[in-house]
Structure 1
Amino acid sequence: MAGCGHPASRDECEAIFKRSAEIELRAQNIVDPRLVEERTAAVRSARGNELIDRCVGRRITDAALSCVRQATTPEQVDRCLE
C-alpha cells in the first residue's frame, strides 16, 4: 500500500528540517541566502540532530515530502506532515 508511506530516512528528515528552517526565517523577513544558511546552521548545531533523530523512522509519504518542498509558510509545512 503506497499510501501508507515508508520510514523516513535521515536524508529526508534533513531536507524537511532545512526547508522548515528556511520557511521560518522567511516568515521573519530574513531572506538573504547567506544569513538564511548561517541561521539554519546555528539551529542545526543547537537542536538539529535531536529534531532529525526524532524524525528518522517515522512514517512519511512521498506526497508529504513533495508538499514540504512546495510549502511557503510554516502552517503549510505543519499541514503537510499531519
Structure 2
Amino acid sequence: MDRETRLRRLAFRAWHRGTREADYMIGGFFDRYGEGWSDAELDWFETLIEEQDVDIMAWAIGTQPVPDRFAGPQMDAFRQLDFINIPR
C-alpha cells in the first residue's frame, strides 16, 4: 500500500476509536505527528492502535507502566499530551 493510503487509513482508525476521549488523544497525536513519521514509526503506531483504548490512555497519563514494546521516543511524545485540541 502506498504511503498516502496508509496515512489515510491510520487517520481514520486513530479518529474512530469509540469514545470521544480516545479519539482526541489518539487522533490528535496522529494529526500532530503522523505526516512526519518514518515507516518504522508508522509500524509502531499501527501496532499501538491495535491495543485497547483504556490501556493506551493509561500509558499516556502514567497510571499503568508502558510495555517495553511501546517505550521510546514516540511514547515519550505521546505522553506529553500537548497535542490534544478539544473544540468548545
Q: TM-score, normalised by structure 1?
A: 0.30
Choose between structure 1 and 2 for higher RCO, CA contacts under 8 A separated by at least 6 residues: 1
Structure index of larger Rg: 1
**Higher normalized helix content (fraction of residues):** 1
Q: TM-score, normalised by structure 2?
A: 0.29
**Higher normalized strand content (fraction of residues):** 1
